[in-house]
Amino acid sequence: MLYLRNLIYHPTACPTPILKALNLELAPQRLGLIIGPSGSGKSTLLEILSGLADPTSGAVCWREQELIAEQLQQLAGLVFQFPERHFCGGTILEELRLGHPELGSERVKQALSEVGLEHLSLSAAPHALSGGQQRRLALAVQLIRQPNLLLLDEPTAGLDWSMRRQLVNLLAKLKQDWTLLVVTHDAGDLLAIADCCWTLNHGELKSIDPRTLEAKVKEPLPAV
């Protein structure tokens, strides 16, 4: 279980806090979805949850234990927005083993099969894959470390309709085994697979029922 308790992020150079006393609870094997416009603080929150930045005050807890940045780096796996831009392995195998040369072929196979890429050659170049396959590989790069919490920043950005559909289906499957927190400015079809949902506006987080939001999105446009 992930808990945020009154989490504040307020760099001294900023006149107002970027994240304002956030409280959140996310149970294991659930998909939490945070929806917020550009500049609302989504990526900043994921940086804190993945141990890349320290909050100004408040706590991030896993089960009942408060975690510091080094522990969060172990606990969480962050998939950046447009993760394919950060690939640096020459082959799929190299990409999966970056920083973990000790990982055996079983773990490599398992990670690829979790994201439906088991049929690919390990010697293929990551950049030669399709856009959808690259996103899947980026997920496998995190899953191979077996993090307790998978954090995804705009996972469907830039994908066409069919690749987007496939990725949403994959995330629905992954939440059977993992705990996922997804941030996006465009919830779209992610709403259907979200177990809990929040909106983030100017650093303020509010809980909202994903089903209510889904119904609203599907409402017919008023006649003009």
Ligand X SMILES: Nc1ncnc2c1ncn2[C@@H]1O[C@H](COP(=O)(O)OP(=O)(O)OP(=O)(O)O)[C@@H](O)[C@H]1O
Stretch that binds Mg ion, among 9-17, 36-44, 95-103, 163-171 (CB under 5 A): 36-44
Residue 92 or 180: which CB sits closer to ligand X?
180
221 binds, among ligand X, Mg ion, none (CB under 5 to 8 A by kind): none
Q: Does 201 bind Mg ion (CB under 5 A)?
A: no
Tell me the C-alpha to C-alpha distance, in Å, between residue 130 and each of 46, 162, 178: 26, 12, 25
Any idea what the Cα angle at residue 164 is, between residues 155 and 39, rounded to 5°?
Answer: 35
Residue 107 or 185: which CB sits closer to ligand X?
185
Q: Does 148 bind Mg ion (CB under 5 A)?
A: no
Token look-up 């980026």 returns 138
Out of 3, 5, 25, 43, name the contact with Mg ion by CB under 5 A: 43
Residues in binding contact with Mg ion, number by CB under 5 A: 2
Q: Measure CA 116 to chain center.
A: 18
Distance, CA of 101 to CA of 84 (rounded, Å)? 21
Structure tokens of 88?
A: 């640096």
Which residues in the 158-217 window bind ligand X by CB under 6 A? Answer: 185
Out of 24, 44, 141, 180, name the contact with ligand X by CB under 6 A: 44
What is the DSSP code string of 121-165? Answer: -TTS-GGGS-HHHHHHHHHHHHHTT--SEEEEESTTTT--HHHHH
Amino acid at 81: Q
168 binds, among ligand X, Mg ion, none (CB under 5 to 8 A by kind): none
Out of 23, 29, 39, 74, name the contact with ligand X by CB under 6 A: 39
Q: Which residues bind Mg ion (CB under 5 A)?
A: 42-43
